[in-house]
Amino acid sequence: MIELLFNNPLAFFLVFGSVLLSLTFHEFAHAFIADKLGDPTPRSQGRVTLDPRAHLDPLGTIALLLTHFGWGKPVEIDPFNLKNPVRDSALIALAGPASNLLIAGLLTVLFHTLSMPEILMSIIKNLAIINIFLAVFNLVPVHPLDGSRVVLVILPRTLALEYQQFMDRYGLFVLLGLLIPWYNGSSPITTLISPIIDFLTRTLFG
């Protein structure tokens, strides 16, 4: 993304700023739902806010600039504060991807209803696709992604416990393995989520 700064500074600030806001909304959604479900941890840490400074991870922001891939500061929760820890943790996890899909939907409405220069339409479409990517990527059921908590609701109790124990111990290594490009230059996780992203993009934009 950094090359865009030199080629088109205006587009860079629009895209980079919008991506940071998307990450902010994603983490805020986690914190907001956790707070509503009875866990005061995010509020005590100042995370129930739309102020980007509360949600952006310095290393993740730098990575976004350099590699087109970044992350926000994870929202900490305490399951013991939740009435139904497994179900409520899944709802908190779903809130982040849901916020990105909501943003993508709003951007799609703007794309189809407003008359604007072609470059702005291109930026809006790309931002919607970025939010679709954030939603789908985070739903992959591998720790520390949101999907690793969502899948626990679906699995039988015994299997869910074994899966959680495995992911808590090895999830990060599994994720890194999925992100590394294989012999054809494409990573396994790209192969997994690309058809879903393409389907959603075609559905929204035709």
Residues labelled as active-site residues: 27
Q: 129: how many CB neighbours lie within 10 A of its CB?
A: 18
What the block records as the tokens of 7 is 């080629």
